[in-house]
């Protein structure tokens, strides 16, 4: 297998905001109506209590305090929901600017079946040996290549032991660092991938790279303009 190492060098916001304001304006009258109903019920209860065994005033106070606490909790939840929606809209807008850029990500990268993959191995500085480990989407190791631990970048040619290219797909790249025959650590190698799409999810913004590889925005460690292809 040929393995080379090289030294290197918003409409949505407005819509969500309007929706949140509408929800808040609709809920406030509902809370006020419920509070008025509660006061009427409380007044009726006081008017119809047994005069010989009147209800302790502290019980009325406790009921009023409980209702007030519920009211405040509802309003707090509405405020948090509004803020969350606005932040999500802002994140979506900012992530949209990443589409078409090349993001530096750890581990997962797409191999098109022909083009070698350039990687940043991130080997341990104390290593005297290092290996690039390649795993398929099922987590099975499909390739292991010895690399220079001091190399800033390495290129995986994507060829098996018979010189045939591995199938097109997403692969996970790891770097195992060794010193005096003992493993120091195994970390995810990094590479650049073009961002084709940004999606909102419950876990945050998800960026879609080449081959449908998915990355959380917090996994992006670098961003650069794509290289211009000369005609």
DSSP state string for 124-185: -TT-SEEEEEEE-TTS-EEEEEEE-TT-SEEEE--B-TTSPBPPSEEEEEEEEEEETTEEEE
In total, the chain counts a number of residues equal to 231
Q: What is the pLDDT of residue 57?
A: 62
Q: What is the pLDDT of residue 85?
A: 52
Q: What is the pLDDT of residue 110?
A: 94
Which residues make Cβ contacts (< 8 Å) with residue 8, sequence separation at least 6?
152, 153
Distances (CA, A) of 43 to 39, 70, 112: 6, 20, 75
Closest CA to 153 of 114, 113, 190, 186: 190
Q: What is the pLDDT of residue 23?
A: 46
Average pLDDT over residues 79-85: 58
Residues 1, 168, 123, CA angle at the centre, nearest 5°? Answer: 55
Residues 95, 101, 13, CA angle at the centre, nearest 5°? Answer: 20
Q: Is the model more confident about 189 or about 78?
A: 189
* Range in 88-97, 102-111, 131-140 with the lowest mean pLDDT: 88-97
* 167 contacts 160 by C-beta, under 8 angstroms: no
pLDDT of 28 over the 70 cut: no
Q: Is the model more confident about 112 or about 20?
A: 112
pLDDT of 218 over the 50 cut: yes
pLDDT of 89 over the 60 cut: no
Q: What is the pLDDT of residue 60?
A: 62
Neighbours of 167 (CB within 10 A): 11
Q: Cα separation of 180 and 128, whole Å?
A: 7
pLDDT grade, residue 35 (50/70/90)? low
What percent of the chain shows pLDDT beyond 70? 61
Q: What is the pLDDT of residues 115-168, one digit of tens each?
A: 999 999 999 999 999 999 999 989 999 999 999 999 999 999 999 999 999 999
pLDDT grade, residue 17 (50/70/90)? very low
Q: What is the pLDDT of residues 162-184, one digit of tens each?
A: 999 999 999 999 999 999 999 99
Q: Is the model more confident about 91 or about 176?
A: 176
* 225 contacts 168 by C-beta, under 8 angstroms: no
Q: What is the pLDDT of residue 3?
A: 45
Closest CA to 156 of 138, 143, 141, 140: 143
What topology is assigned to 102-193+206-210 in CATH? Immunoglobulin-like (2.60.40)
Residue 218 DSSP symbol? G
């Amino acid at each position: 297998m040929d393995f080379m190492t090289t030294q290197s060098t918003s409409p949505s916001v407005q819509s969500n905001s309007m929706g949140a304001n509408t929800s808040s304006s609709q809920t406030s009258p509902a809370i006020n109506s419920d509070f008025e109903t509660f006061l009427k019920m409380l007044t009726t209860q006081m008017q119809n209590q047994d005069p010989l065994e009147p209800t302790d005033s502290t019980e009325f106070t406790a009921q009023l305090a409980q209702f007030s606490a519920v009211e405040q909790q509802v309003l707090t939840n509405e405020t948090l929901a509004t803020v969350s929606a606005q932040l999500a809209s802002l994140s979506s807008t900012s992530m949209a600017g990443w589409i078409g850029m090349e993001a530096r990500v750890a581990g997962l990268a797409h191999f098109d079946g022909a083009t070698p993959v350039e990687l940043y191995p991130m080997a341990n500085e104390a290593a005297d040996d290092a290996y690039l480990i390649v795993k398929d989407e099922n987590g099975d190791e499909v390739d292991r290549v010895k690399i220079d631990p001091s190399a800033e970048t390495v290129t995986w040619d994507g060829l098996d032991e018979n010189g045939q290219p591995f199938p097109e797909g997403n692969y996970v790249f790891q770097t195992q660092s060794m010193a005096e025959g003992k493993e120091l650590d195994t970390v995810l190698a990094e590479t650049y991938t073009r961002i084709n799409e940004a999606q909102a999810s419950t876990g945050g913004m998800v960026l879609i790279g080449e081959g449908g590889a998915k990355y959380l925005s917090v996994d992006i460690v670098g961003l650069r303009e794509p290289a211009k292809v000369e005609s």
